[in-house]
Amino acid sequence: MDMTIWRAHSACAFSKEPQHLLCAVEHIDTAEAGQNNSAFYMFHQGHWYAYALSPDWSAIALAAVDDSSEGLWLVVGVSPAGEVWEMHPLLVQETYSRIPDQLGITNLASIEGNIYACGMGRISLRREKRDQWTEISAPWPDIDEGVIGFTAMAGLTASLVYAVGWQGEIWTRSDERWDREVTPGNANLNAVAIAPDGTVYSVGDRGAMFRGRKGAWDVVDTGIGLNLMDVCVHAGDVFACTDFSVYRLTSDGFVNDIPGDAPDRPATCLKLVPTSTALYSVGPSDVFVRSGGVWSRMA
């Protein structure tokens, strides 16, 4: 995958051991000519492999799930307008579909065997099967609330789902009901992750980070003035990224996990993809992997 001609904008991992990284990319020249486009690349045994379908829309989010109802892993990519790419890796089977009557999709999440989508207006949907999504949205914003939307969702189980978004909003969904949390700030939140013990971490603009769980939140002083674009929990540590580097949360706060004097380091970051054995950083121009505490370039 030649990052001089491709630009990555979303990623996920799928399969059981070993887990494979899959990236959604766009052709730079085509995009700069004003034409939306996507291609999908998987990294396997040291090489990048392209999938057959290349939609004429931007896949702004990817998610994967072990789809027991169909007996196979499923990977889903989505555009802001609800256009969908679905792929069963073992069958190398790709199809297009659509989330009907939806605009402003911002992200996907994998929660307890299902793919969820979220977006502007606090919309939330759960995939039931191909071409069938159930809307489970939070209350639509009032006019005086301004522009509001969800940017990310997460949940260890479907019985308690967290959604974060603009103006510092955090909502929880349990017993088929959404409740708005009282949060300690109003910075736009860009991502959310949950540790195995149920602790929730959400990051956002100007270095904002909230930590807690339903009904109890506090601010983490990150010491970072840049926008935090993603957050994840990997091997017992919490990681977050800006557009330019990856940070790890320690007892003394966040530290840059990629040393400035490293022989090679990413110029761009955007998405963090944790697996059981590695952590991936995917930026528009760089794909790196952290294994054994050391970062190395993949593309």
Hey, where are the domains in the chain?
60-297
Q: In whole numbers, what is the pLDDT of the chain averaged over residues?
A: 95
Predicted confidence band of residue 192 (pLDDT cuts 50, 70, 90): very high
Q: Please check the confidence at residue 47 and state whether its pLDDT lies above 80.
A: yes
pLDDT for res 69: 58
Q: Please check the confidence at residue 173 and state whether its pLDDT lies above 90.
A: yes
pLDDT for res 71: 60
Structure tokens at 93: 């089977």
Structure tokens at 92: 């190398």
Which whole-number Å values give the CA distances from 151 to 73, 160, 192, in the listed order?
Answer: 25, 17, 9
Q: Do 6 and 16 touch, CB atoms closer than 8 A?
A: no
Give me the residue label for tokens 């057959």.
52
Q: Please check the confidence at residue 17 and state whether its pLDDT lies above 90.
A: no
**Neighbour tally for 219: CB within 10 Å:** 14
Predicted confidence band of residue 9 (pLDDT cuts 50, 70, 90): very high
pLDDT for res 102: 81
Quick one: 227 exposed, middle or buried, by C-beta within 10 A (0-12, 13-18, 19+)? middle
Q: Which fold has domain 60-297?
A: Neuraminidase (2.120.10)
Helix and strand counts by DSSP (H, E) for the chain: 1, 28
Closest CA relative to residue 113, chosen from 67, 155, 77, 146: 67
Alpha-carbon torsion, ordered 226, 26, 59, 143, to 10 deg: 50
> Taking residues 47-73, what's their average pLDDT?
89
Predicted confidence band of residue 98 (pLDDT cuts 50, 70, 90): very high
Give me the residue label for tokens 């919490």.
238
Alpha-carbon torsion, ordered 10, 14, 39, 42, to 10 deg: 110
Structure tokens at 216: 């109890």
> Taking residues 190-209, what's their average pLDDT?
98
Closest CA relative to residue 152, chosen from 173, 122, 178: 122
pLDDT for res 165: 98
Q: Please check the confidence at residue 89 and state whether its pLDDT lies above 90.
A: no
**3-state class of 32 per DSSP?**
helix
Q: Do 234 and 279 touch, CB atoms closer than 8 A?
A: yes
Predicted confidence band of residue 148 (pLDDT cuts 50, 70, 90): very high
pLDDT for res 68: 62
> Taking residues 238-266, what's their average pLDDT?
93
Structure tokens at 147: 């522009």
For the sheet containing 123-129, what is the strand order? 105-111, 114-119, 123-129, 132-135
